[in-house]
Chains A and B, each alone.
Chain A
Amino acid sequence: MENAAFASGAGIVQAYPGGTMRVLAVEEDPAYLTALTEMLQRHGYQVTAKASPEEGLRALQDNLEGFDLVMTVVRTQGPGIDGFEFLKHAAQRYPVILFSGVEPEETKMRGMLEGACAFLTKPLRDEEVRNVWQHVVARRRLNAASGADARGSDVVAVRQDETVARKRGLDDSGEGGSDGRTAKKNRLNSWSEEELHAAFVKAVEQLRGTEGN
């Protein structure tokens, strides 16, 4: 079922935890804003389109929880802030993809250093548009890891859950007994982010009794 859902790009986007991914797309060129919106929607994204970074910033301020990703043009002609200024505000909370016509590498570097997760060249290829969800997932993992470092008790709770699951005979990892638990405790501080996440998922599945299904 999971593989079927992921068979199409729209499937991946719509299987996103919390529902369809919501993109704020900002572009001064009306033709390209229309084209980009259509491309995103075709891949299952829910799109809010704004014609300037100024309008985009207002949209964010009016609905802080309303978006998962921001895509904005860099260069603008109209009054108000440009894409770089918009980036400074948006990148604090959202993954931001910048896009522009052909730009020097220095401009792209500036964008990345100032917080963008990608700097793409217009017109974006269909595959690039389809895959923007990856930046959302990457940001979520980064935020989760930052949160886990600060909350040591959550890590202890994961370890305690595994201990409970083991007592119920659901854990076949072969690390049973006090020696096994001590060894695992000593390893805990050396776990990478991926190991920590995998341990958390395993613990949840064990508690649900779904591991291996």
Chain B
Amino acid sequence: MAAVALKNQLNAHIASMFAAGFLDKQFQELQMLQDDGSSPGFVSEVVGLFIDDAEKITGLIAGLLDQPVVDFDKVDALVHQLKGSSASVGAQRVKLSCEQFHSYYEAKNRDGCVMALALLRNEFYDSRSKFQTMFQLEQQIEACS
């Protein structure tokens, strides 16, 4: 009974993530890989790797923007990497934030990049929090089973 309630809560939570634009259909692709039964915990593993990697990348970008002379090519490369990484797990808001970053480093605009990074980080932290809630619910469901 508790498991059913938790499953409903989890489904509602995921639905709200889709509705609010945190997730796109790529996340559904990952869920399908897990749902066929051969890889339980696969989604949490992949998203966990994404979260760790994104944390590292945003830190590197911040470090580059802190330098007296900003290497915008490296900023470009890191944002491209994070965009690909977020796209691969369906973290849509993070991906879109990366796209908004583009015009600032193209223009070699440090202040613009700093602002874009702040927005990107906000979206990333919000997404991370949503994912963590999702995985906590999954763990509770698993514990009930």
Known: A75-B80, A123-B26, A123-B88. A29 touches B53 (CB 8 A): yes
Q: B83 contacts A30, CB within 8 Å?
A: no
Known: A29-B85, A32-B88, A38-B39. A123 touches B29 (CB 8 A): yes
Q: A32 contacts B33, CB within 8 Å?
A: no
Binary per-residue interface labels of chain B (16-42) against chain A in the complex, 1 for a CB within 8 Å, 0 otherwise: 000000000010011011001011001
Q: Which of B46-97 contact A (CB under 8 A)?
A: 46-47, 49-50, 52-53, 77-78, 80-81, 83-85, 87-89
Q: A101 contacts B53, CB within 8 Å?
A: no
The 8 Å CB contact of A32, one of B36, B38, B39, B84, is B84
Q: B84 contacts A100, CB within 8 Å?
A: yes
Residue of A nearest to B95 (CB): A101
Contact of A167 with B by CB under 8 A: no
Q: A101 contacts B89, CB within 8 Å?
A: no
In the bound complex, residues from chain A placing their C-beta under 8 Å from that of B142 are none
Interface of B is mostly: helix
Q: B77 contacts A35, CB within 8 Å?
A: no
Q: B46 contacts A29, CB within 8 Å?
A: no
The 8 Å CB contact of B45, one of A34, A77, A123, is A34
In the bound complex, residues from chain A placing their C-beta under 8 Å from that of B89 are 31, 35
In the bound complex, residues from chain B placing their C-beta under 8 Å from that of A38 are 33, 39, 42
Size bracket, chain B contacts: 20 to 34
Contact of A89 with B by CB under 8 A: no
Size bracket, chain A contacts: 10 to 19
Residue of B nearest to A38 (CB): B33
- Give Cα distance in the complex from A101 to B80, angstroms: 7
Q: B87 contacts A77, CB within 8 Å?
A: no
User: Which residues of B line the A interface, CB within 8 A?
Assistant: 26, 29-30, 32-33, 36, 38-39, 42, 45-47, 49-50, 52-53, 77-78, 80-81, 83-85, 87-89
Contact of A175 with B by CB under 8 A: no
Q: A77 contacts B77, CB within 8 Å?
A: yes
In the bound complex, residues from chain A placing their C-beta under 8 Å from that of B50 are 31
- Give Cα distance in the complex from A123 to B29, angstroms: 10
Closest 7 CB pairs of A and B: A101-B84, A31-B49, A31-B50, A32-B88, A30-B49, A123-B88, A29-B85
Q: A77 contacts B49, CB within 8 Å?
A: no
